[in-house]
């Protein structure tokens, strides 16, 4: 999820989406072009996806700062990153959201990416620069989406997938908006809770319980940003009470529900990701 100052003019951001958004399972993409003269300064918090931010800008481009590190250019953002800001003079950027099961196959390092923000080339490999050059040179966003889908599709089709039981548990977590119990998921797949938790974390880089909290938080954040009152959001999202919601929002964002409700995080989400899930860090 990305946020920026309330005064930021989102009308200066052009958004492009693929003509066939469901071409690859567990993958969604959007393109962003910033026409404003000012630099961006964007805060990022955790979301239930691994995100690839491919910097297509000329010049300075994206700059990521967090945990005492500074990364320039394209980056891969794992699940549960710490405090992170992204900014710079960003012209165009391709954002790819990978659900954890897809990320485990595409990148092969899902568990190592948990909580991390790393340069794109460290994860993508020796073809990273060539991939960026191809995307930057493309004549249109449609061409860029096609190139990206082809590259991702080859990786999805050529590597070992996660266990069917783990993939099922993740789908159930998403479908229920995080309102599931690990014991129930274990019963559905025929495993013990201990085995499910170990295999889930080993393959997706996050425990089933933490994944459910993350998905539930995201649903609540969307409702808050849509203007719903915190008390109603707590009930609809499955929190014990409003205080429980407050603690979870504070845990994931460092902000109160009231602050989340007025932050322009989701200002262009309905345009960039009209189908809702799969979710991930918000567009720059």
- List the CATH number of the domain containing 73: 2.60.120
Residue 277 resides in a domain: no
201 in the same domain as 101: no
Residue 126 resides in a domain: yes
Count of domains observed in the chain: 2
73 in the same domain as 120: yes
154 in the same domain as 17: yes
52 in the same domain as 168: no
151 in the same domain as 179: no
Residue 283 resides in a domain: no
Residue 89 resides in a domain: yes
> Which residues are paired to 179 by β-bridges?
none
For the segment 18-75, what is each residue's pLDDT rounded down to a tens digit? Answer: 987 767 888 999 998 877 666 666 666 667 889 898 999 876 677 777 666 778 889 8
- Check: CB of residue 97 under 8 Å from CB of residue 17: no
18 in the same domain as 107: yes
Q: Which residues of 130-163 are buried (b: 16+ CB within 10 A; e: fewer)?
A: ebbeebeebeebeebbbbbbebbeeebeeeeebb
148 in the same domain as 69: yes
171 in the same domain as 111: no
Query: What's the pTM?
Result: 0.84
Looking at residue 250, which CATH number applies to its domain?
1.10.10.60
Residue 55: which domain range? 2-160+268-272
For the segment 82-141, what is each residue's pLDDT rounded down to a tens digit? Answer: 666 666 666 788 999 999 989 988 987 666 677 778 899 999 989 999 999 999 999 999
């Amino acid at each position: 999820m990305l946020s920026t100052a309330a005064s930021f003019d989102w009308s200066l951001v052009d958004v492009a989406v693929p003509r066939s958004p469901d071409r690859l399972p567990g993958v969604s993409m959007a393109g962003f072009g910033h026409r404003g003269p000012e630099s961006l300064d964007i805060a990022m918090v955790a979301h239930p996806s691994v995100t690839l931010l491919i910097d297509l800008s000329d010049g300075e481009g994206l700059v990521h700062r967090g945990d005492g590190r500074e990364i320039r250019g394209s980056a891969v953002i794992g699940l549960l990153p710490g405090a992170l800001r992204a900014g710079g003079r960003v012209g165009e950027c391709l954002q790819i959201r990978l659900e954890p099961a897809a990320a485990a196959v595409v990148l092969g390092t899902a568990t190592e990416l948990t909580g991390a923000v790393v340069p794109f080339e460290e994860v993508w490999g020796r073809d990273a620069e060539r991939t960026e050059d191809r995307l930057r040179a493309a004549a249109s966003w449609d061409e860029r989406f096609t190139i990206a889908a082809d590259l991702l599709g080859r990786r999805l089709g050529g590597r070992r997938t996660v266990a069917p039981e783990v993939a099922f548990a993740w789908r159930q977590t998403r479908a229920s908006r995080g309102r599931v119990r690990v014991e129930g998921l274990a019963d559905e797949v025929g495993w013990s809770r201990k085995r499910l938790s170990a295999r889930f974390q080993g393959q997706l880089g996050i425990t089933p319980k933490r994944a459910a909290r993350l998905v539930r938080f995201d649903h609540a954040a969307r409702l808050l940003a849509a203007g719903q009152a915190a008390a109603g959001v707590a009930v609809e999202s499955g929190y014990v009470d409003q205080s429980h919601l407050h603690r979870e929002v504070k845990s994931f964002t460092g902000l109160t529900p009231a602050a989340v409700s007025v932050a322009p995080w989701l200002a262009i989400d309905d345009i960039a990701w009209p189908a809702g899930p799969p979710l991930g860090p918000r567009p720059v």
